[in-house]
Structure 1
Amino acid sequence: MDFEAVYQGREIAYGAASPQTDLIPWRLDGPQPLLVELEAAGDITGPVLECGCGLGDNAVFLASRGHEVTAFDAAPSAIEQSRSKVTAAAPVTFTVADATELNGIGVPGGFRTVVDSAMLHCLDADQRRAYLTGLRRVCAPGAKLHVLCFSGELAAFLKMPAAMDEDSLRADFAEDWAIRRMEPCQYTTGLSMQQWHSLSPALSNAPEGEGLVSVDEYDRVLLPFWRITAELT
C-alpha cells in the first residue's frame, strides 16, 4: 500500500475489488481506545517508541500522560502532519524511518515500551521478522511490546502480506520476544458501517463475514484484532 499517497489525501484502493477512496480507516482524530486502556492499566512505561505512528494521535496522547515518546512512520506526509500536533504539554519526537531498519531510532538506555497499533500486519513475513529482531537493538532489557494487529479470520478476507494466525505470529515473535498475552479484541476504526461495506466488498458479501465486525456507541466499526503483549528476552 502507498501510505504516502494515503497521507497526502490521494485516492487509493484498499483491495483489488475496493473502490478508490481518500478515507483513512484508522484515523480517529484521537488515540486508539485499546491504547488508552493499556495506559490506564499502567502497562506503558517510558521511554516509549511508537512504530508506524500515522497521524500521531496515539503518540501525542501518551506524551500528554507524561511519557517520553519517540514515534516514527515511513510516510513523510504523516510525520509532517504529526509534528503539527506537538505542544509543550505533549512533546513527541517524530521522525521518518523504515520499521525493518530503524535507522536513527534510539534513546539512551533504550526504550522500555514499544507500541504498534496496526502496523505489524502491513509487513510481509521477512519484513516482520526483521522488524521484531531489530527492535532488540533499540530497546532496554525486559522491554514490553504491545501490538494490535489483524486477526487471522479478518486477514483471510483482506489478503494481508503475511499470515496472521496465532501459530504464525507466535513463531515470528519467538526468537526475540516472549509473548505474555495474546487475546482477541476489537479495534476501533473511523469508519461507519456503510463505509466499511464499500471498502471491503469481498468480506461484506461473504456469508462468513456476517457478524465479524460490529459498531461501538458512536457507530464506528470495530474490527477483530489480536492484542499481543510481549517481553524482550
Structure 2
Amino acid sequence: MDSEVMDWDSVYKEEGGFEGPPPWNIGEPQPELAAVIRDGKVTGDVLDAGCGHAELSLTLAAAGITVVGIDLSPTAIAAATEAARERGLSNATYVCADITSFTGYDERFSTIIDSTLFHSLPVDRRDAYLQSIHRAAAPGARLYVLVFAKGAFPPHLETKPNEVDEDELRSAVSKHFVIDEIRPAKIHAHQPQIPGVEMPFDLDEKGRAQMPAFLLSAHKEG
C-alpha cells in the first residue's frame, strides 16, 4: 500500500475485493488483545484507534469501560454506533475521522489500542498517526499495537498491508512512546478469499487463519 490510502469504506460495504465481509471481522476482540484485557492491563478511558466494526471497544464498554472508537469509514462507524445502541452501551462513542489528524481529545485516554490499524496506514502517515494518538494520550497512558509482521502475506500480492519487522516498528513508535515490549503474536482472521491467490495459514480452533504479527506494548512518559 505504501503511500496510498485504501478505500476502506468500500471494504466495509463488501465492495473492496474480498468475497463477503472483511476477513478481520471475527465477531470478537483479537485473542491477543482479549488476553491483555483479561490481564487487567486496560484501564481508564480507552481509544479504539481504527475501530472498524468495533467488537473490541463494544466488549470493553459491556464491561463498564468508557470507550471512543475512531475510524475513517462512515459505514464502519454507522455499524458500530448501531451495535452500541442495540446493546444499550451509552459509554461507547464512535466518531468518523482521520486517525492521523484527529483533534479534540488532548490527554483524554489512559489506554490506546490499535487492533490491526498500524499496517493499514500509508507508511508516510505513520508518524502523523503516532503524533495524534500521543496528543490524545494521558500522561502515563498505555499503548497496545497489534500489527502484521513481514512475511504475513505473499510478496507478489499487488495490494497488501504495510507489514513491519521488529526494528521498523520499534523505530517508528519509540519517537513518541516508551516501548515496554515487542513480542511475536498472531492476528486471527477468516481465511482471506482473494481470487487467484492461495494463502495457506495455520488455523485456530474456530477454523480462522492465524497470521504472523507483533504485539507492541508501550507507554507515554509522565
TM-score interval, normalised by the smaller of the two chains: 0.7 to 0.9
Find the residue that maps to 1:152 and give its secondary structure: coil
Could you list the runs of 5+ residues in structure 1 that have no partner in the other structure? 14-19, 205-209
Q: Distance in 2 between matches of 1:62 and 1:199?
A: 32
Take 2:23 and 2:133, find their aligned partners in 1: how far apart are those partners? Answer: 27
Question: Amino acid of the residue matched to residue 220 of structure 2?
Answer: L
Tell me if 1:229 matches 2:208.
no
Q: How does 1:153-192 map to 2 (within 5 A)?
A: 153-154=151-152, 157=155, 160=160, 162=162, 164-191=164-191
Instruction: Give the TM-score normalised by the residue count of structure 1.
Output: 0.83
How far did 1:2 drift? Answer: 1.2
Task: Tell whether the 8 Å contact from 2:12 to 2:21 is kept in structure 1 after alignment.
Answer: no
Contact 1:155 1:164 survives alignment (8 Å):
no
Could you say which residue in structure 1 is the equivalent of 2:146?
A: 148
- Residues 125, 161 of structure 1: 8 Å contact kept: no
Cα offset, 1:201, TM superposition: 5.4
Deviation at 1:37, TM superposition (A): 0.7
Give the partner amino acid of 1:76.
P
Q: Which residue of 2 aligns with 1:199?
A: 194
- Stretches of structure 2 lacking an aligned partner (at least 5 in a row): 1-5
Contact persistence 1:144–1:229 (CA under 8 A): yes
Cα distance, 1:162–1:219 mapped onto 2, change above 3 Å: closer
Query: In percent, how many aligned pairs have the same letter?
Result: 31
Deviations 1:194-229 (Å, cap 9, x if unpaired)?
xx3x4285563xxxxx6xx31111111111111111
Per the TM alignment, residue 91 of structure 1 is displaced from its structure 2 partner at its CA by: 2.8
Shift of 1:90: 6.2
- Per the alignment, residue 81 of structure 2 pairs with 83
* Corresponding residue number in structure 2 for 1:70: 68
1:33 deviation in Å? 1.8
The question of 1:40 aligning with 2:45 is answered: no
**Which residue of structure 2 aligns with residue 215 of structure 1?**
203
The structure in which a higher percent of residues are helix is 1
- In structure 2, C-alpha distance between the alignment counterparts of 1:200 and 1:186, rounded to whole Å: 24
Retained in 1: the 8 A contact 2:100–2:128? yes
In the alignment, residue 50 of structure 2 is paired with which amino acid? G
1:128 and 1:215 map into 2 onto residues whose CA distance is 30
Deviation at 1:161, TM superposition (A): 6.0
Distance apart, 1:31 and its partner CA: 2.2
Structure-2 separation of matches of 1:48 and 1:202: 37
Equivalent-residue separation in structure 1 for 2:121 and 2:89 (angstroms): 33
User: 2:151·2:163 contact (CA, 8 Å) conserved in 1?
Assistant: no
Alignment root-mean-square deviation, CA: 2.1
1:121-136, aligned counterparts within 5 Å? 121-136=119-134
Q: Which amino acid aligns with 1:224?
A: P
Task: Give the equivalent residue in structure 1 for 2:3.
Answer: none
